[in-house]
Amino acid sequence: MLETRRSTSKYSPNHVLPTLYSPDKLLFPLKLLDRVSNELKGYTWLLIGISLIAVVVSGIALYIIYAQTQAVTNLIASQSARLESISSHIASLKEEVSGIKENVSKLSTNIKGVQSRISELSSKLSLLSEKESSLEGKILDLEKKVEEAKYPITITDALGRSVTISHKPLRIVSTAPSITETLFMIGAGSQVVGVDQFSNYPPIVNELKKNGSLKVIGGFSTLNIEEILKLRPDLVITSTGVQEKYARELSDMGLTVIVMRTSSISDVFNDILTLGVVTGHPDKAVDVVNNMRETILETHEKVIAYLNTRGIKPVKVYYEIFPDYWTVGSGSYINDVIKLAGGENIFSNVTNAYFVASPEAILKDDPEIILTNYNYGQFGNPQELINHIISRQGWSNITAVKKGHIYVIQGTLEDIIDRPGPRVAIGVAALARIFYPQAFNLKGVPQTINDTVLESWGISLSAG
């Protein structure tokens, strides 16, 4: 039965396979797969190509990105370097601005200092003008006294004594070169019968001494009382200091003696005017003083203008009048000569006229200019004097020595500065040129200041 059912069923293999499982139909999937595979192969190469293109594009993009990154990095580095440079310049500018501010501050301080110096110098000039006015007043007063009074004339001398001159003196004894110069300058030379051994100006004095018309009465500090008495003088004129003892001795002997004060330029003016009155030559004395005053003022005003223009202080001066270390203080007229010439005596705070300074004080004050007298060659030639000063212990550190500003005063100028007489104005003019040659259009100053040098500077060596 079973066999009968298998054979008779409509789903038997023989019936179905021909339609469902034929070879063509069985190969169709394979063919389809092969076709798909072939098509996929084409797409694969396409994909590969696309992938390669993508890789290349990506590479190019990455290169571009890298290149741009490098460019940006380089730009950043460049800008950083530039920024550092700018920062450095800014810091430098800040330093420069700070330096400029500091310089401006210093300049402001200097300007204030210059203004202060100008004010100080103007004050000194004003003070000098006041002294000039005072001097004019004294001249007028003396002229008035001469007009109103006849002999006897009573004056007060340097020792504070009242001295009466009973008549016009015709036999005068002069005990100092400065007094002799003054007497001859005011026209009283013919009244002089005796002078000290150092009196040598004006030149006629030497001639009169030589022919015996003028008798020599000893040295400045070694007056011969007997010789003075032999001359039977009606007036003896002496100086302060070492001569005071002789003045008192002669006064005690009944002689009329006047002691002259020589502590300042004002004293020199007063001495000239006083001698003009007591000897009967007031007009000439006034002329001499006026000429001196004009020369001094002309020099001083020129120096003041020079200092004002440059805003500088007066040079510090050490004047060694005699070795070793003998110098001058405010009690000497030479202190005024230095001051009126535009210098500052480093010992102007010492009241003594003449004294021995300590080397330590000189080193401490550090003078810018050193003056020394030739002293008629007693201590060697000018160069030997300079070498002696330079060789002193520690003096190589002094500004004047380092700059070579050591000057030997020789010849007529030495006499002029050492004598408080009518030629001191020449001394002021000479020292001013040593201190400030540029103010007088001089190219330089030789270390030896003698007559030839003064003449080359246009300075006359005679007064009046």
First to last CA, the chain: 189
Architecture of domain 313-456: 3-Layer(aba) Sandwich (3.40)
* C-alpha separations of 160 from 250, 260, 294, 432, 459 in Å: 16, 10, 30, 34, 37
Element (H, E) at 63: helix 23-148
pLDDT along the chain (464 residues), means of 10: 42 44 55 59 62 66 67 65 64 58 53 51 56 60 56 95 97 98 98 97 97 96 97 97 96 97 95 97 97 96 96 97 96 97 98 96 98 93 96 97 98 96 97 97 96 95 73
State residue 94's pLDDT score: 60
Q: Is the dihedral of CA 241, 406, 344, 342 positive or negative?
A: positive
**Rounded CA gap, 106 and 97, in Å?**
14
State residue 462's pLDDT score: 80
Residues facing 316 on adjacent strands: 344
Local structure of 148: helix, strand or coil: helix
Local structure of 107: helix, strand or coil: helix
* C-alpha separations of 426 from 74, 177, 292, 299, 342 in Å: 82, 16, 8, 10, 14
Local structure of 202: helix, strand or coil: coil
Half-sphere exposure of 166 (CA within 13 A, CB side): 3
Local structure of 232: helix, strand or coil: coil
Q: Which two tokens stand for residue 259?
A: 């002691």
State residue 442's pLDDT score: 96
Half-sphere exposure of 46 (CA within 13 A, CB side): 6
**What are the DSSP calls for 302-365, one per residue?**
HHHHHHHHHT-PPEEEEEESBTTTEEE-TTSHHHHHHHHTTEEETTTT---SEEEPPHHHHHHH
User: Residue 463 in contact with residue 185, Cβ under 8 Å?
Assistant: yes
State residue 9's pLDDT score: 43
Q: Is there a common fold for 151-282 and 313-456?
A: yes
Backbone φ, ψ for residue 445 (5° rounding): -130, 120
Local structure of 233: helix, strand or coil: coil
State residue 376's pLDDT score: 86
Q: Which two tokens stand for residue 317?
A: 């001066």
User: Residue 416 in contact with residue 440, Cβ under 8 Å?
Assistant: no
Tell me, yes or no, if the pTM score tops 0.75.
no
Q: Find out whether the peptide bond into 202 is cis, omega within 30 degrees of 0.
A: yes
- Tens of pLDDT, residue by residue over 73-98, are 676 666 666 666 666 656 665 665 46
State residue 99's pLDDT score: 60
Q: Residues 6 or more apart from 460 whose CB is under 8 A from it? A: 426
State residue 222's pLDDT score: 96
Q: Is the dihedral of CA 117, 119, 121, 127 positive or negative?
A: negative
Local structure of 244: helix, strand or coil: helix
Domain map (residue ranges) of the chain:
151-282, 313-456
* Fold that domain 151-282 belongs to in CATH: Rossmann fold (3.40.50)
